[in-house]
A and B are shown apart, each in its own frame.
Chain A
Amino acid sequence: TQLLEQSPQFLSIQEGENLTVYCNSSSVFSSLQWYRQEPGEGPVLLVTVVTGGEVKKLKRLTFQFGDARKDSSLHITAAQPGDTGLYLCAGAFREGGSEKLVFGKGTKLTVNP
C-alpha cells in the first residue's frame, strides 16, 4: 500500500516567517503533486514534479522532489496570510495496470498577520 506522510500536521506562524512542509514515503512515485485547499473549496493544483531532484519555484513557493522520488518538500518564503490553507501532497504510481494517485493527510497552515 502506497502511503504518504506529511509533516507537520499543523503549523501556525507569523507573517513574514519562512516554513517548510514535508511529504515522505517509503514508496517510489512517478510524479508528485502539491495542492492547496482553502476552507469551503476543493484542492487546487500548485505544481507537479516529475524528475528526481527536480526543483520548481512558484513565486515565494519552492518545491523539491527527492532524488529517489520518495519524498518532497514545499518551502514558503516570507509567508503571507493569503498562504493560509491545507497543503496536500499527492503521489502518482502504477498498480494493476492502471495509474493511481494517493494523497497525504495534509498540513494545515495558518499565517497570522
Chain B
Amino acid sequence: KAGVTQTPRYLIKTRGQQVTLSCSPISGHRSVSWYQQTPGQGLQFLFEYFSETQRNKGNFPGRFSGRQFSNSRSEMNVSTLELGDSALYLCASSYRISISGANVLTFGAGSRLTVL
C-alpha cells in the first residue's frame, strides 16, 4: 500500500511569506502528526490531528497551524516566515491516536523548507 506522501518535497521562501505543506496519510490511518526537524534541535513535535480534531499541540508559536480534512489528509501552515523556520517538516500517520507501545508511526519523506 502507498506510504505517507508529503508535498512539496522542497521549497524556498523569503522572510515574511507564508507556506502550506500537505500530507496524505496511509489509507485507513486517521491520526496525523507533524514534526519539525533541525540539526540543532532534532525532531520537535508540532501537533497531532485525529478525525479532523487537534488532539495534541507542541510548544510552537501561533504562526504554526494545521488542519485535517474528512479524508484524513492534513495541511500545516506557517505564516510570517522567519529564518529559523528553515527545517525539514515531517508528517507521520498512525491508525490510533495514542502513542503506546503498540502504536506505529509511519513517516513521510518530509518537506524541506528554506527561508531566505
* A interface residues, Cβ below 8 angstroms from B: 30-31, 33, 35, 40-45, 48-50, 88, 90, 92, 98-106
Contacts and interface: CB of A to CB of B under 8 A. Distances in A.
Contacts, number: 56
B101 A30 contact: yes
Nearest to B105: A45
Interface string B17-30: 00000000000000
A103 B100 contact: no
B40 to A, nearest CB: 8
B87 interface: no
A105 B35 CA distance: 13
Nearest to A33: B105
B105 A103 contact: no
A85 to B, nearest CB: 13
A99 B100 CA distance: 7
B53 to A, nearest CB: 12
Given A40-B109, A42-B92, A43-B90, A31 B101 contact: yes
Contact of A106 (B4, B42, B106): B42
Contacts of A88: 42-43
